[in-house]
Structure 1
C-alpha cells in the first residue's frame, strides 16, 4: 500500500459499496438508509496489482458544525486532508444535484487531487448523469458500477499515477521509523530503529454510551472517532493503529450492543453483527462498563460471549473520576466480578476515565499480561506433575461404583489455552470435577482472565508405548 484514497460524496451514492468492492469483502455496512457510515473506516484496497489504503467516509452534508451531521462532515474533511487523492462519487442515475455542486466547489478550494466517479452508471439510466458530471469542473468522470464491478479498469488507470515505490515512503525522513531512547551511559536521548512487531488486535466493546470511542480518541491524542451525547453513534467497527511503548496495537471501535429484544431495525442488527465479527477476530477484548451502573445483565452477556469466543478479557471501569469512595467501590466490584463471571475468574478490573486518560497505562499493562497468558503453553511434564498431585489429594469420584481414572494431560494449543485429558470413562466424569480441574490449572499456572478449554478423551497415555520401545 503506497498511497491513500478517500471515498467521498453525499449520502447514498454508493461509497460503502465501492469500499467493499475495493477491499474484496463486505466489511462496511451497506443499507438504503441515508447516513449509515459515520466514521472514517480504513481498509486495504486493491485493483489488479495496485495496492493502496482506502478510506470509507460519512456522506457530505451541509449542517451545523455542532450537530451529529456536522461532526460527521468534519471527520470526512479530515479524511480528505490525510488522503493523497479523493474519489468524489455522484449518483449517475440521479444526476448532479446542488449538494454535489456545493461540495465539488469545496474540493476545488482544498486543492488536493480528485478523481470524479459517476457511480451506478450501468444501463441507460446512468448515461445522462455521466454527461452532467462534466459540468462539475473536476475533469473527465469515470463511469462506474460499484455493485456490479463495471468500470474498474478505468479506475485503475486513474489511480495508477499516485502509486509510489516502497523505497520512497521515507523520503521525508532520514530512515525508517525510529523511536527515542535514553542512552544509559550519556543520559542523552538517541534515535534507535523502532521494533515493529505484529500488532495485537484489541476490540473495545460495551453497551451504547459506555465511552468506547472517547477512550480510543484519548489514546490516540486526536478526535479520530466521532463522539457525542447521542446513543449509538458508532455503527461500523472501525480499526485504528496505535503504538503504546513501542508495542503495535490495532484498536477496533465497535457499535454499542443493546439487549437482543431491543434491537429492532435492520441497520442496528447489521451493526451488532459487525461488533460480533470484531470480537471473533480480536485477540484481547476490553469490555467498557459505566461504573455508575456496572454489571448490568447486558454487560454479563457480552462478557460471556467473549469467553465463549475464546478471547482474552479486560474490564474497563469508565467514569472512575465520578466515584467518591473508590476503595469501597473497587472491593464491591471485585466481589461482583468473582460472583457473576466465574468463567473468567480473576479478570482485571481497571479504573479509568476515557475523557481524561487516567488509567490507560494500567489498562494496557493488564492487557499485555492477559495477552501473554492467552498465548501461553504449559510444558507437558509440568502439567502432569500437577495432575499427579491433584489426583493424590482429590481423585475423581466413583460413578456407578467405578472410579474414573485420569491418566495423562497435555496442551495441544493456545489462543485460548486448550487442554486434553485422557481417562478411562470421559462420559462419566462429573462437570463439577472438570470445573475443579480447570480452576486448578488457572490458579497454578496463572492463567487468569482467559477462557480455558478442557477436552476429555478415552485412552491411555499416547506416549507410553513410545517410551517403552526406547
Structure 2
C-alpha cells in the first residue's frame, strides 16, 4: 500500500491549491470562495523522489447536525482515519483562529503523525503568521506558498522524515533529487557545481568521475542543460550536477540562455552542497560573489573551489590569502571550506570531496533548546543588548526551528529596536560557540512575553 497523506484544515486555507501542485495537475477546483471542495479527492502525488497518495478534503467546520457541512466534516474525519499522516494547514495571513485550535485538537487525538503547514507565508506578514502557528502545539510549522511554490523544499524534508527511504532511479533529473532528511549512506549527496562561464565546472566534473562525460573547451557557455551524474567516492554515493555558467542578468538576452540559467538555479535549490567554482587567476569578481551569496540565501552548504590552480604563478601564501579574502567578501558564510584545485592535474580533488562531506555537518546540526537558552543568557550577560530610547531590550528565550540550514528563533521585548550590529554579534557568536563555521544561519527575532506571540524581524 502506498503512503497516504491527508490535507486538512478549515475552509479556504489553500488545501486544493497544494493538492494540485503535488499531483502536477489542476484536478481540484480552486476559488477564493470558501467551501468549494466538498468530497474528499484522492490523487497520486510526487515531491522530488517521494511518491505517495494524497487526499484533498473539505474545510473543517464546527457542526454537529445532519447538514451538508456535517457530512463534509465526516468525509474529512474518514480521510484522517485512513491516512498514514496528516498535513494540517493554516492560513498564515489570517493568523490562528479559534477553529484552528479546535481542529488541531481533533488531529492530535487521531494519533497520526502531523505536518503543520502555514500556507500563504510569502512576505513579512505571512512569516509572522507562520511563527504564530507554533501555538498550536503541533511541532515546527512549515512556511510555504502553495500558489507560488515557495517552501516546497521544507515540505519535502518534513514528509521524507515520515516515509520509507526512497529508491533512486538512475534516470532521475535534477528536479527529482530533493534533499536528505536522514544521513543515510545509501542515499546520494546532491552536489551542484556552479560558477561563471568558463570557470572549469565541466572539466572538474569530468576529472572527478574519471571520464569525458561533459563537453568542455575554451569557449565560454558550452554547457546549457543541468546534467546530473551519479558517482561513488570513498564508499559514499554522490549526485554531481554540472550547470550552465551564470552571467550577470543584464547580459542575458538569449532565450536558451535564460532557460539554462533557470535550470542552474533549480539545481542550486535542490542541492545539499553547492560548489562555487572561481577562476584562481581572477577570483572574487562581482559575479562570483553574487553566485555564492545566492547559494547561501537558498540555505545550501557552500564550498568554494578555486579552479585552474596549475596556472597560478608564485603559489606561496596564495592559498592562505584566498582563505582571508573569502571570509572578508563572504561574511554570511564565514569559515566555509576553501579548496584550491586543478582538474587538469587532479590536484585537490580528494580534498574537495572531503570538504563537501564535512560541509554538511554544521548544515544539518541541531542544538538542544536548553543549551541555546543557556547560551543566550551567557551571551547577553557578557554583552547586553544596548538600551534604545532609554529602555533596555530583554532577550528571553531561544530555540532552533529547523536544520538545513540551522534556523533559530529568539524571543525578545522589542525586536524592531535591536540594532543590526547586535544581531551580527549574536550570529557570529552563535557560529563560533557551536562550530557552525561556513554554513548559512537564519536568525529570527520575535516580540513576545511567551513563545507564541507576534513575529518581529529576521536576519539571515
Q: TM-score range by the shorter chain?
A: 0.5 to 0.7
Between the aligned partners of 1:319 and 1:387, the Cα distance in structure 2 is 44
Over aligned residues, Cα RMSD in angstroms? Answer: 2.1
- 2:370 counterpart of 1:381: yes
After superposition, residues 453-464 of structure 1 pair within 5 angstroms as: 453-460=442-449, 462=451
- 2:309 counterpart of 1:293: no
SS at 1:326's partner residue? coil
- 2:393 counterpart of 1:404: yes
Between the aligned partners of 2:316 and 2:231, the Cα distance in structure 1 is 32
2:343 is aligned, of 339, 354, 363, to: 354
Between the aligned partners of 1:445 and 1:357, the Cα distance in structure 2 is 34
After superposition, residues 274-313 of structure 1 pair within 5 angstroms as: 274-313=263-302
Aligned to 2:417: 428
How far is the alpha carbon of 1:462 from its aligned partner? Answer: 3.7
After superposition, residues 8-407 of structure 1 pair within 5 angstroms as: 197-407=186-396
SS at 2:317's partner residue? helix
Between the aligned partners of 1:352 and 1:216, the Cα distance in structure 2 is 12
After superposition, residues 440-459 of structure 1 pair within 5 angstroms as: 440-459=429-448
SS at 1:327's partner residue? coil
Between the aligned partners of 1:364 and 1:285, the Cα distance in structure 2 is 12
Between the aligned partners of 1:462 and 1:226, the Cα distance in structure 2 is 54
Q: Deviations over 1:411-441 (max 9, x none)?
A: 0100100000011111111111111111111
Q: Deviations over 1:142-195 (max 9, x none)?
A: xxxxxxxxxxxxxxxxxxxxxxxxxxx9xxxxxxxxxxxxxxxxxxxxxxxxx9
Conservation of the 8 A alpha-carbon contact between 1:207 and 1:257: yes
How far is the alpha carbon of 1:335 from its aligned partner? Answer: 2.2
Bigger Rg, structure 1 or 2? 1
Between the aligned partners of 2:365 and 2:449, the Cα distance in structure 1 is 26
Between the aligned partners of 2:426 and 2:233, the Cα distance in structure 1 is 36
Between the aligned partners of 2:328 and 2:185, the Cα distance in structure 1 is 40
Equivalenced residue count is 275
How far is the alpha carbon of 1:356 from its aligned partner? Answer: 2.2
Conservation of the 8 A alpha-carbon contact between 1:408 and 1:460: no
Conservation of the 8 A alpha-carbon contact between 1:283 and 1:311: yes
Between the aligned partners of 2:204 and 2:195, the Cα distance in structure 1 is 12
Pair 1:392–1:350, CA change in 2 (3 A) = same
Aligned to 2:81: none
Q: Deviations over 1:113-139 (max 9, x none)?
A: xxxxxxxxxxxxxxxxxxxxxxxxxxx
5+ long unaligned stretches in structure 2: 1-23, 26-47, 52-168, 170-183, 453-460
SS at 1:315's partner residue? strand
